[in-house]
């Protein structure tokens, strides 16, 4: 009985003190909120990038509108300032990248604007995404891509997350999902799968990986090999994303000629890459993506995006290699409509790395097609390019 009375007294005393504390804070119109709380998942995934100093309590007003204003402005701006400071340090370490970093700062500002406007990314994730980018930039700053590059496995999740923050998932459209199962079955049987696609933006490889990943096909997302051109390898700003994908590196026709004094060196590099391709196809179980146009699609005079013509020599090369491999090979069509996420410049300059980068929060649309040889069993080999181009255009019309 005595124990019960003492317990009741202590409980009552605690409640009185608590009530007094709450009333006092309400009168003062102040409370405390962990404004930069780090979730256990984020801490586990990115322990080295968590800035302990931002896990602090900051006094804020209890008025709802001001809380929202404070969270949208001050917290994101705090993360933004930290990222900018890191970028400024990069410039101090290497002045020759000043122009590239200044270009990236413009991209950073637009990225921040989009995620704040659409509430697609927390301030902590925003900070982590760009800290990892900067760390990867430094790590691979002087990296020279070999003929075949295998992706950095430690960056797999980040490569998906960085761009997925800009994807309007609710309004995105993914067609041809049933064909993913076919690709998995073919690969399990030892077959090769070549995916011929149009190409919109630099981030297409990461968005394609994201597409397969969210459809529970991580084996494709991690194993697919992308034919990588010149700019995504030499552009310092693209390189952190390029190293997150498997790349078979080949110079396209428009870059192999420029500058002229490197033509022989680039030609030799391409020969080695083709030998790698031949060996991969002979081995089997390969999934390879390429854009036979050799570059990104641009807007025409009518303001619409048209799929660039496919190069017959590229497609014929893959067809010859596929037949010589003696391994069953499937030619798949894929249409991408990703343009708005990271629009390319309307002009093409083989001498210059783009001086402006922008991004938008936008839906993406992908349409995975079937095996062109199954669709057109009586197709003449000399018409493969025409059939593939027309088929990808058909797929594209369904998502544009």
Helix, strand, coil abundance in the chain, percent, nearest 5? 55, 15, 30
**What whole-number percentage of the chain has pLDDT above 90?**
68
CATH architecture of 146-345+355-396: 3-Layer(aba) Sandwich (3.40)
User: Binning pLDDT at 50, 70 and 90, where does residue 35 land?
Assistant: very low
Q: pLDDT tens digit string along 49-62?
A: 444 333 333 332 33
d(CA 346, CA 339): 12
Domain ranges within the chain, ordered by starting residue: 72-136, 146-345+355-396
Q: pLDDT tens digit string along 121-179?
A: 999 999 999 999 999 999 999 999 999 999 999 999 999 999 999 999 999 999 999 99
CB atoms within 10 A of CB 262: 14
Q: pLDDT tens digit string along 269-299?
A: 999 999 999 999 999 999 999 999 988 999 8
CA 274 remoteness from chain centre: 26
* Burial track 320-343 (b if 16+ CB lie within 10 A, e otherwise): ebbeebebebbbbbbbbbbbbbbb
Q: Is 238 helix (H, G, I), strand (E, B) or coil?
A: coil
The pTM assigned to this predicted structure is: 0.81
DSSP one-letter code for 97 = G
């Amino acid at each position: 009985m005595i124990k019960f009375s003492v317990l009741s007294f202590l409980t009552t005393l605690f409640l009185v003190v608590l009530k007094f504390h709450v009333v006092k804070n309400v009168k003062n119109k102040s409370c405390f909120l962990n404004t930069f709380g780090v979730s256990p998942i984020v801490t586990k995934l990115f322990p080295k990038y968590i800035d302990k100093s931002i896990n602090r309590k900051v006094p804020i007003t209890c008025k709802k509108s001001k809380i929202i204003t404070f969270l949208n402005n001050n917290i994101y701006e705090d993360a933004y300032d930290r990222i900018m400071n890191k970028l400024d340090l990069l410039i101090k370490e290497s002045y020759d990248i000043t122009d590239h970093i200044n270009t990236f700062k413009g991209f950073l500002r637009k990225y921040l604007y989009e995620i704040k406007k659409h509430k697609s990314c927390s301030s902590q994730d925003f900070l982590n995404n760009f800290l990892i980018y900067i760390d990867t930039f430094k790590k691979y700053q002087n990296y020279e891509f070999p003929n075949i590059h295998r992706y950095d496995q430690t960056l797999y999740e980040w490569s998906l997350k960085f761009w997925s923050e800009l994807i309007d998932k609710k309004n995105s459209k993914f067609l041809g999902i049933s064909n993913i199962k076919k690709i998995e079955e073919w690969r399990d049987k030892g077959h090769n799968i070549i995916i011929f696609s149009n190409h919109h933006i630099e981030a297409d490889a990461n968005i394609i990986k994201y597409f397969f990943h969210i459809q529970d096909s991580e084996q494709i997302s991690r194993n697919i090999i992308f034919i990588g051109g010149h700019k995504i390898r030499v552009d310092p700003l693209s390189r952190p994303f390029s190293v997150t994908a498997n790349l078979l590196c080949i110079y396209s026709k428009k870059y192999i000629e420029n500058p002229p004094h490197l033509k022989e060196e680039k030609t030799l590099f391409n020969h080695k890459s083709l030998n790698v391709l031949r060996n991969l196809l002979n081995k089997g179980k390969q999934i390879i993506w390429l854009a036979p146009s050799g570059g990104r699609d641009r807007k025409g005079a009518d303001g619409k995006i048209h799929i660039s013509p496919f190069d017959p020599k590229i497609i014929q090369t893959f067809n010859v290699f596929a037949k010589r491999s003696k391994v069953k090979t499937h030619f798949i069509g894929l249409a991408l409509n990703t343009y708005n996420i990271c629009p390319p410049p309307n002009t093409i300059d083989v001498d210059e790395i783009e001086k402006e980068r922008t991004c938008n929060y936008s839906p993406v649309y992908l349409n995975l097609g079937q095996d062109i040889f199954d669709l057109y069993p009586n197709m003449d080999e000399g018409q493969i390019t025409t059939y593939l181009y027309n088929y990808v255009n058909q797929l594209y019309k369904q998502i544009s």
